[in-house]
């Protein structure tokens, strides 16, 4: 199963007994950005960077919302100058 958004594609790689694993790719370059998968330590689905299965960074929905909010604030500041 593939789910398409404006800039990203989520491609199902694996369905485990209770969870799924998705590859996240840029639609413009088809570059692998990371994975959405169950992160047992936090007991929720998270986004893991492409090297996330070993040493990468993990983002849950709240982390991503904070990043989005910060970037939106920077963009608003830039527009107001």
pTM of the model: 0.75
- Measure the CA angle with vertex 47, ends 41 and 23; round to 5°: 120
Distant-in-sequence, close-in-space partners of 37: CB < 8 Å, separation ≥ 6: 19, 20, 21, 22, 45, 46, 48
How many Å is the Cα radius of gyration of the chain?
A: 15
pLDDT (tens, 9 = 90+) of the chain, 81 residues, equals: 899 998 899 999 988 888 999 999 888 999 888 889 998 998 899 998 877 555 567 788 988 998 898 778 878 888 897
């Amino acid at each position: 199963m593939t789910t398409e958004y404006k800039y990203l594609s989520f491609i199902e790689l694996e369905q485990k007994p209770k969870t799924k694993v998705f590859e996240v790719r840029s639609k413009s370059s088809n570059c692998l950005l990371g994975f959405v998968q169950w992160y047992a330590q936090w007991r929720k689905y998270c986004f893991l960077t492409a090297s996330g299965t070993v040493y990468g960074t993990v983002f849950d929905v709240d982390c991503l919302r904070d990043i989005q909010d910060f970037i939106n604030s920077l963009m608003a500041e830039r527009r107001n100058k």
